[in-house]
A = this chain, B = another copy of it.
């Protein structure tokens, strides 16, 4: 006997969120991360450290390099340019807060420009992100965001240790 009841799809197969929602989420995090960078005192940005960790300028450069290279590689499948941007990550020269904020804003625009150009089938392609990290594209994008949240959270500790109240975590506007 055939079961003619309408089947409800199992929750596991339904979309969790759309590409547009992911972009909103990402840019919300970027707005908060920008405020954390802005709150960081210029004279501590390239020097202050806890437990031998990198100063916040280096963490911010990592965020910038990963986002810039990541969106480029995801949108174009060309991870060479991404690798070039990623190499910023190793940049050791001191940078000013304003230089970092300007780079930040440039990448924010770049993400908004490239996002609609991502092929609709792209999020479930398997690829070596940055030519070296094997993964499905959606998980590589999540990794960029997770890495930003992770290092930004460390920035909160640096700010607290410097006696500065960080921007509220829940505010993404």
Say if the beta carbon of A157 comes within 8 Å of chain B: yes
Number of copies: 2
A10-B116, A53-B157, A160-B51 as given contacts; A16 in contact with B147, CB under 8 Å: no
A153–B63 Cα gap in the complex (Å)? 14
Per-position binary interface string of chain A over residues 112-138, scored 1 when its CB falls under 8 Å from any chain B CB and 0 otherwise: 000111111011000000000100001
A158–B50 Cα gap in the complex (Å)? 9
A117–B12 Cα gap in the complex (Å)? 10
Q: Which of B12, B119, B141, B157 contacts A157 (CB 8 A)?
A: B157
- Within the complex, the shortest CB–CB distance from A80 to chain B, in Å, comes to 22
Most B-side CB within 10 Å, residue of A25, A52, A151: A25
- Within the complex, the shortest CB–CB distance from A55 to chain B, in Å, comes to 13
* A16 & B13 in contact (Cβ 8 Å cutoff): no
Contact residues of A with B, CB < 8 Å?
A: 8-23, 25, 29, 50-53, 115-120, 122-123, 133, 138-139, 141-143, 146-147, 149-154, 156-163, 169-170
A sample of 25 cross-chain residue pairs with beta-carbon separation below 8 angstroms, ordered by A number, consists of A9-B120, A11-B19, A11-B115, A11-B116, A11-B117, A12-B20, A14-B19, A15-B18, A15-B19, A16-B16, A16-B19, A16-B138, A21-B139, A29-B146, A51-B157, A51-B161, A51-B162, A51-B163, A52-B160, A146-B149, A149-B153, A150-B169, A152-B153, A153-B153, A154-B154
